[in-house]
Amino acid sequence: MRCNDCLYDMNSNIVEKNIKIEVILMFRIGDFSKLAKTTTKTLRFYDEVGLLKPSFVDDNNGYRYYEPKQFFDLNRIIALRQIGLPIDEIKKVLISNNKIEIAEIYKSNKINIENKIKLLKDKLSRINYLLDYDNNTRKTDYQVTLKNMPQHKVYYEQGLVSGFEGISKFILDTINKLKQSELNINFLSPPYAYIAYLDNEYKESDIRIEYAQAVELTIAVANDKKQQFKTYDSTLFACAFHKGSYERLPKAYGYIMDWIEKNGYSMIGNPRECHIKGSFDTSYADEWVTEIQIPIVKK
């Protein structure tokens, strides 16, 4: 309650009284907590970090008081906390009048959530894969076939990818580069392309790979372009299709290598991976399809 504008004469007699009363409804922290369905511990924390300061603090007893309009402020804070925004970004949203800045904060949080969903989907896929086992025995997903690849010429690019997730982008970049080049070539029909790993050991990052696309030249290429092509002789391959994420490819390789050994063959070169359906088609890893081709010769 406030009283303003009281006028007095020099003899302390009231000659005019103009009383203005303003009543402000306040809630002690306990009552505010009950109505807002938020613990007093949380309200004190918001006070300490500067998210929601009490409207008034009694200097005599330290009691915190809140105004009705602060229910709206609290609801907004709770909503921002529920979507995972950290304290410092919530502060920016609360004090900023820049809609573009606020939108950028939301977009950044959206990307983080999408990445987490992707990781969780991968974990769920792995759990479903393990559940598919019956007493640690399972009918194999793989069927090995022999393919004789006739002599063919390929256009190839070698490079580094940060991880397995970068392979699809490397493939698309190479294809686009090839299409935009001035080379007089046609892709073979049906198309044939593959990835080969060039490192001498398994690596999870900075992976050296080669992408090759089978082509036919319509005219001879200049000498300075010849390093982009090479020719492979007719080769026999042990092949199998793998469906699922690239992280599970070792199981497929193990199965094929076991088949090669049991059937009297030896590996004679780098395996190839034909990415028939990958992340450039769908973000759901369980739908990716890769054909593994291992060059072999009879012992």
**90/167 same-domain check:** no
* Predicted local distance difference test score (pLDDT) of residue 227: 58
Residue 170 lies in a domain: yes
* Predicted local distance difference test score (pLDDT) of residue 5: 39
Please write the tens of the pLDDT for every residue from 115-172: 889 888 877 876 776 676 454 445 567 889 999 988 888 889 999 998 877 888 888 8
- Phi–psi pair at 78, nearest 5 degrees: -60, -45
In this structure, what token pair is assigned to residue 228?
């982009």
Please write the tens of the pLDDT for every residue from 212-270: 988 876 555 555 555 588 888 899 999 999 988 887 888 899 989 989 998 889 999 88
**250/173 same-domain check:** yes
**177/38 same-domain check:** no
The DSSP line for the chain is -EEEEEEE-TTS-EEEEEEEEE----EEHHHHHHHHT--HHHHHHHHHHTSS--SEE-TTT--EEE-TTHHHHHHHHHHHHHTT--HHHHHHHHH---HHHHHHHHHHHHHHHHHHHHHHHHHHHHHHHHHT-BTTB---S---EEEEEPPEEEEEEEEEESSGGGHHHHHHHHHHHHHHS---EEE-SS--EEEEE-SSS--SSSEEEEEEEEEEESSPPPGGGGGGEEEE--EEEEEEEEES-GGGHHHHHHHHHHHHHHTTEEE-S--EEEEEE-TTT-S-GGG-EEEEEEEEEE-
Residue 16 lies in a domain: no
* Predicted local distance difference test score (pLDDT) of residue 66: 93
**60/195 same-domain check:** no
Residue 124 lies in a domain: no
**232/156 same-domain check:** yes
In this structure, what token pair is assigned to residue 247?
């992280």
Percent of the chain exceeding pLDDT 70 equals 83
**69/213 same-domain check:** no
Cα Rg of the chain, angstroms: 35
- Find the mean pLDDT for residues 290-298: 93
- Find the mean pLDDT for residues 81-103: 90
CATH number of the domain that 71 lies in?
1.10.1660.10
**73/192 same-domain check:** no
Residue 89 lies in a domain: yes
By residue range, what is the domain housing residue 42?
A: 27-95
Measuring CA to CA, which residue among 152, 173, 161, 174 is closest to residue 293?
A: 152
Angle at 170 between CA 168 and CA 173, to 5 degrees: 110
Of 35, 61, 95, which residue constitutes the final position of a domain? Answer: 95
**47/165 same-domain check:** no
What residues does 43 pair with on adjacent strands? none
Residue 51 lies in a domain: yes
In this structure, what token pair is assigned to residue 218?
């319509």
**214/293 same-domain check:** yes
What residues does 290 pair with on adjacent strands? 242, 275
Residue 203 clears pLDDT 70, i.e. is over it: yes
* Predicted local distance difference test score (pLDDT) of residue 147: 92
* Predicted local distance difference test score (pLDDT) of residue 41: 94
The confidence band for 211, taking pLDDT boundaries of 50, 70 and 90, is very high
- Cα–Cα distance between 158 and 228 in angstroms, integer? 10
Residue 111 lies in a domain: no
The number of distinct structural domains making up the chain is: 2
The confidence band for 1, taking pLDDT boundaries of 50, 70 and 90, is very low
CATH number of the domain that 291 lies in?
3.20.80.10
Residue 230 lies in a domain: yes
**157/281 same-domain check:** yes
Residue 20 clears pLDDT 70, i.e. is over it: no
The confidence band for 22, taking pLDDT boundaries of 50, 70 and 90, is low
**Poorest-confidence range of 69-78, 89-98, 132-141, 269-278?**
132-141
**82/154 same-domain check:** no
What single letter denotes the amino acid at residue 265?
Y
Percent of the chain exceeding pLDDT 90 equals 37
**60/175 same-domain check:** no
Residue 233 lies in a domain: yes
